[in-house]
Structure formats: C-alpha cells, structure tokens
C-alpha cells in the first residue's frame, strides 16, 4: 500500500463523516447565531462521539475528521477544532485534577474551551506576548489583553499564556488554565469576517494559583508550540475539505451549465482550470497526510512538515475557492450560496495559528538546522 493511501476503514469513516456533516450537523449550524457559540451543535458533536477523537489525538485521524466535516459543514469542523485547540494543553500538561474536571465536559460538548495566545502586539510574533503574571502570595495576578481569541465570547475556560519572568522572547512564558468566571476577567466580542465567535479578553489582576498551572513555570511557549504542531496539519485538512467542496461544486456547475453551444466543461479554459484545481487539492491533501503521519511517528522534522502542510493547503484552498467562484460567475456571490460561504471562511486560515509568512519563516529556519 502506498504510504499515504487510506485503508478501507478510513475511507468508510470519511464517507460517514461527510454524511453526518451534511445531514445532521448542517441544520444545527444553520440555526445558530453568527458570532456566538452554537451549543446545540457542540452537544451534537459530543453525542456523536466526534469530540472523543481529540484526546488523545492521533494527527492523521484528526486530519481525516476535520477534512470530512469541513466538506459538509464548516461550522461543525470549526467548533470541533476550537475545542481541541483550547483543551489540548490541558490534555498534554494538565494535572489529573484539571483533566478530570474539564476534559470529560469538553468531549461531551458541555464546556467550551479557548486558546488565548494572541495579543494586540503579539499576533504572528507570539513570543513577544506581554500579558503579565505578577507574583501574588503563592500565585500570580494576570494583567493585560488577549485578542482575536476564538470562542472567547462564551468560553467556559481558556488556556492563557502569560509572562512570569523577565526573560525575553519565548523564555519566561507560562500557561494557565483560567475559568471564565474569575474576577477581573472581561470579554468583548469582535465582529469579524469569520462566522465563529471571536473576542478580546481583558485581565485586570485576575488571580491564578499553582493549581491553575499547565505544566512548569516557564514552559508555556513550548507547550503552545507542541499544541500548534499538532493542529497545524489539521488546519491544512480543514482547508483541503473546503477546497474539495469548492472543486465538487465547480465540477457540477461546469457539467450542467451550458454556454457557447455546450457545457462549460467543454471549454478548454474551464477544463484546464478544473484540472489545475484538482491537482493542487490532491497535492495539498497528500502533504497534510504526510505531516500528520510524521507527527504520529514522532519524527524529528514535525515542525517543518506541519508548517509546509498548513502553508500549501491554506494557500491552495484560497486559490481553489476563488477559481470556483469565477467558474460559477455572479451566482456564487449571492448571500447563502455555498461558494459565498466558503469564500468568507477560507480567508482566515491563512492568518490564524501562524500566518502564511510565519510558516515560510519556520520552514526556512528548519532548512538550515
């Protein structure tokens, strides 16, 4: 069997997931309010057992899950992914008490998680974060701002990265598990292009103790990178799922729409475009699977492969969705059309969890190691 060919069980599972996304999850997504946590959708993900695949996560399974859900319901995919991103540090470095309290609720879809790394002055340059954790007795007080945080409006807890030391850059960063009801913590929703909830977290002397630590003092940045190395290939899988949905829509339209005496697919300009789209989608998919397999085998070049997968897949998805819109024409720009939805959804993954330029920087640095 070729290294990245799926076995019959995996192929069948992906088909089941696509059907679930289209038939059961899509109606729940459509009934939700943009910019708010869709708790019925999250509960359905829990009831179907899909959130159980997050902990412990196998990267290839996570990629297959995200790709398949994205094909039929991007909102369901995003809800699942944000649960994983926010709670993954708890699974990786949390105490037994932290894991026992939060992970069962996360996988049941009853507790909403957030991953609070980005700040107004520390987006792509995550190591420049400035949220301070000043010593206070046996604990700390968090002061500062996190922004562009997915799930912030409605999250039950957040993994928060703060500076506990005077060391510059990645050194001196510590991770904390912060419940949303802590005094001094306020949340402001942001009106963003992406339809899922995003907001700003303001910390005004929020108290945290050693019981809230995730891992060791000073080990927060490494924990963030471990989490992102797992989720970056699956962001690529999300992008591949959207690209495949756009390609499928373009193929259907080009086969059924007649113009200039025949179906659009008979026009060389269209058929060559479709061929290019299909080739790029398959290349991105294989690179995503390769990165996921490398993660699951604990290979030393995981950071490089993860960056390559996210880079190629997200850029490919942007190209394919845009090309599909062009093939459809004005109909694809109408509010509510699948491609209008994908056109809005596809832009953000090129920015979050490390922008395209950050991925290129990571790859270039790793080449010279």
Q: Are residues 255 and 349 in the same domain?
A: yes
Q: Are residues 284 and 267 in the same domain?
A: yes
Q: Are residues 249 and 282 in the same domain?
A: yes
The dihedrals phi and psi of 134, each to the nearest 5 degrees, come to -85, 135
26 belongs to a structural domain? yes
> Which residue among 77, 108, 139 closes a domain?
108
Number of independent structural domains in the chain: 3
Q: Are residues 330 and 270 in the same domain?
A: yes
CA distance 337 to 329: 12
CA distance 109 to 44: 7
> Which residue among 182, 200, 217 closes a domain?
217
100 belongs to a structural domain? yes
Buried-exposed string 260-289: b where 16+ CB fall within 10 A, e elsewhere: eeebbbebeebeebbeebbebbeebbbbbb
Q: Are residues 239 and 328 in the same domain?
A: yes
- pLDDT (tens digit, 0 to 9) for every residue of the chain, 369 residues total? 345 678 899 999 999 999 999 999 999 999 998 889 999 999 999 999 999 999 887 899 999 999 999 999 999 999 999 999 999 999 999 999 999 999 999 999 999 999 999 999 887 776 789 999 999 999 999 999 999 999 999 999 999 999 998 777 778 899 999 999 999 999 999 998 877 899 999 999 999 999 999 999 999 999 999 998 888 899 999 999 999 999 999 999 999 988 888 888 989 999 999 999 999 999 999 999 999 999 999 999 988 999 999 999 999 999 999 999 999 999 999 999 999 999 999 999 999 888 999 999 999 999 988
Q: Match 């001094």 to its residue by tokens.
A: 184
Q: Are residues 16 and 58 in the same domain?
A: yes
Q: Are 284 and 239 in contact (CB under 8 A)?
A: yes
List the catalytic residue out of 75, 77, 353, 366: 353
Max CA distance (Å), the chain = 80
Tokens of 77: 């995919």
71 belongs to a structural domain? yes
Label each residue of 1-64 as H, E or C: CCCCCCCHHHHHHHHHHHHHHHHHHHHHHHCCCCCCCCHHHHHHHHHCCHHHHHCCCCHHHHHH
| Domain extent for 327 | 222-367
Q: Are residues 101 and 26 in the same domain?
A: yes
Q: Are residues 248 and 318 in the same domain?
A: yes
> Which residue among 170, 200, 217 closes a domain?
217
CA distance 268 to 196: 39
Q: Are residues 256 and 356 in the same domain?
A: yes
pLDDT recorded at residue 244: 98
* Burial environment of residue 16 by CB neighbours within 10 A (0 to 12, 13 to 18, 19 or more): exposed
Q: Are residues 299 and 230 in the same domain?
A: yes
CA distance 144 to 130: 7
- Angle of helix 220-256 relative to helix 338-345, nearest 10 degrees, comes to 150
CA distance 186 to 168: 27
Q: Are residues 357 and 234 in the same domain?
A: yes
Q: Are residues 237 and 361 in the same domain?
A: yes
2 belongs to a structural domain? no
3 belongs to a structural domain? no
Residues comprising the chain, all counted: 369
119 catalytic per annotation = no
pLDDT recorded at residue 4: 66
Cβ-based neighbours of 291, under 8 Å, separated by 6 or more: 59, 232, 233, 236, 302, 305, 306, 308, 309
Cα 120 → chain centroid: 20
Cβ-based neighbours of 243, under 8 Å, separated by 6 or more: 277, 280, 281, 284, 313, 316, 317, 320, 321, 346
Radius of gyration in angstroms for the set of CA atoms belonging to the chain, rounded to a whole number: 21
CATH at 267: 1.20.140.10
Cα 77 → chain centroid: 8
CATH at 125: 2.40.110.10
CA distance 32 to 79: 12
190 belongs to a structural domain? yes
pLDDT recorded at residue 2: 41
Distances (CA, A) of 30 to 16, 27, 34, 152, 344: 20, 5, 9, 21, 15
């Amino acid at each position: 069997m070729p290294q990245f060919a799926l076995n019959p069980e995996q192929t069948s599972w992906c088909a089941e997931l696509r059907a679930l996304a289209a038939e059961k999850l899509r109606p729940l997504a459509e009934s939700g309010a943009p910019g708010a946590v869709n708790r019925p959708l999250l509960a359905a993900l829990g009831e179907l057992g899909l959130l159980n695949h997050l902990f412990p996560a196998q990267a290839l399974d996570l990629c297959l899950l995200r790709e398949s859900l994205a094909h039929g319901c991007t909102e369901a995919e995003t809800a699942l992914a944000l649960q994983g991103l926010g709670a993954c540090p708890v699974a990786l470095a949390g105490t037994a008490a932290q894991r026992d309290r939060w992970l069962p609720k996360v996988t049941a879809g009853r507790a909403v998680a957030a991953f609070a790394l980005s700040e107004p002055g520390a987006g792509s340059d995550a190591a420049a974060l400035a949220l301070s954790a000043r010593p206070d007795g046996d604990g700390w007080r968090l002061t500062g701002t996190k922004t562009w945080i997915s799930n912030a409006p409605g999250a039950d807890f957040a993994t928060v990265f703060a500076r506990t030391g005077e060391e510059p850059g990645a050194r001196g960063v510590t991770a904390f598990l912060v419940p949303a009801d802590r005094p001094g913590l306020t949340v402001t929703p942001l009106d963003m292009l992406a339809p899922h909830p995003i907001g700003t977290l303001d910390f005004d002397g929020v108290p945290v103790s050693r019981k809230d630590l995730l891992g060791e003092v000073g080990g927060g940045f490494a924990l963030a990178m471990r989490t992102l190395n797992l989720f970056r290939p699956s962001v690529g899988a999300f992008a591949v799922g959207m690209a495949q949905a756009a390609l499928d829509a373009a193929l259907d339209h080009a086969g059924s729409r007649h113009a200039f005496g025949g179906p659009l697919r008979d026009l060389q300009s269209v058929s060559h475009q479709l061929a290019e789209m299909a080739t790029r989608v398959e290349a991105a998919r294989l690179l995503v699977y390769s990165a996921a397999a490398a993660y699951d085998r604990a290979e030393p070049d995981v950071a490089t492969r993860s960056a390559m997968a996210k880079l190629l897949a997200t850029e490919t998805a942007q190209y394919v969705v845009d090309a599909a819109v062009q093939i459809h024409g004005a109909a694809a720009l109408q509010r509510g059309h699948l491609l209008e939805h994908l056109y809005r959804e596809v832009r953000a993954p090129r920015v979050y969890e490390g922008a395209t330029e950050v991925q290129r920087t990571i790859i270039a640095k790793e080449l010279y190691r």
